[in-house]
Amino acid sequence: MTDTGGVKGLRVLIADDHQLSAKALADSFRARGADVVGIVHSVPDALEAVRADLPDVLISDLDMGPGPSGVDLALRVRSALPATGVVLLTAYEEPKLFSSQMPALPPEVVYMVKQRVREIEELEAAVKLAIDYAHGLQSPPKPSSRSFLTESQADLLRLLAQGLSNQAIAQELSVSADSVAKSINRLAKRLGVARTTQHNVRVALSQRYFDFIGYQRER
């Protein structure tokens, strides 16, 4: 299964709390010859369907609404049914921006950012790769290569996007305002945000946050 060919005949389960998105994804895979064994809209329903239908691959959103997330689902599936491939298809460039307390993704899970997917073939390749990882036919990347922010950086970026002052952020994170200012400078450097007379670093970092979570702002 190391080729990146089609998905004809593969048993696919789709989990997304947005029904329209789930249906559109299912229609795309059916059109490519996949056997979509189910469409579910919650983590409990997804777990039940995985056990009942034994799909080759689960494609899940990261944000599944209130309650368990797609990461929680991926962890459960990888533990209970390790032969099932898992693809997380999400708007979040960085999982920690969804929640800095989120557990680490299993390395066998393929993480795809929706706004970067241009062709259905890219998603097909991700599905085949997830199955290869699950069956040990390819080695997954190291978990550290998935993230470009630390937990504290993710928290800081989220609070900046909420419009909090340095003092308010300091109180929220139980650090000094001076520490927050230094952390903002380090974060700006990490994300390549330069300070210029026309460029407010706080605003630029807030804009990066919304870009990273897939928010469509006017440009």
pLDDT digits (tens, 9 = 90+) for 47-90: 999 999 999 999 999 999 888 999 999 999 999 999 999 999 99
Least confident interval from 14-23, 55-64, 201-210: 201-210
Q: What is the pLDDT of residue 194?
A: 75
Q: Is residue 182 part of a domain?
A: yes
Q: What is the mean pLDDT of residues 95-101?
A: 78
Check whether residue 128 and residue 159 sit in a common domain.
no
Check whether residue 79 and residue 156 sit in a common domain.
no
Check whether residue 122 and residue 156 sit in a common domain.
no
Check whether residue 127 and residue 178 sit in a common domain.
no
Check whether residue 182 and residue 140 sit in a common domain.
no
Q: Is residue 35 part of a domain?
A: yes
C-alpha dihedral (77, 80, 84, 89), degrees to nearest 10: 10
Q: Is the pLDDT of residue 144 over 90?
A: no
Residue in 37, 39, 46 with CA at minimum distance from that of residue 76? 46
Q: Is the pTM for the entire model greater than 0.85? A: no
Cβ partners under 8 Å of residue 199, min gap 6: 193
Check whether residue 43 and residue 72 sit in a common domain.
yes
Q: What is the pLDDT of residue 110?
A: 95
Q: Is residue 77 part of a domain?
A: yes
Q: Is the pLDDT of residue 148 over 90?
A: no
Residue 111 domain boundaries: 11-145
Q: Which residue has the higher pLDDT, 216 or 12?
A: 12
Under the phi-then-psi rule, with left for phi > 0, alpha for psi from -120 to 50, and beta for the rest, what region is 133? alpha
Check whether residue 118 and residue 160 sit in a common domain.
no
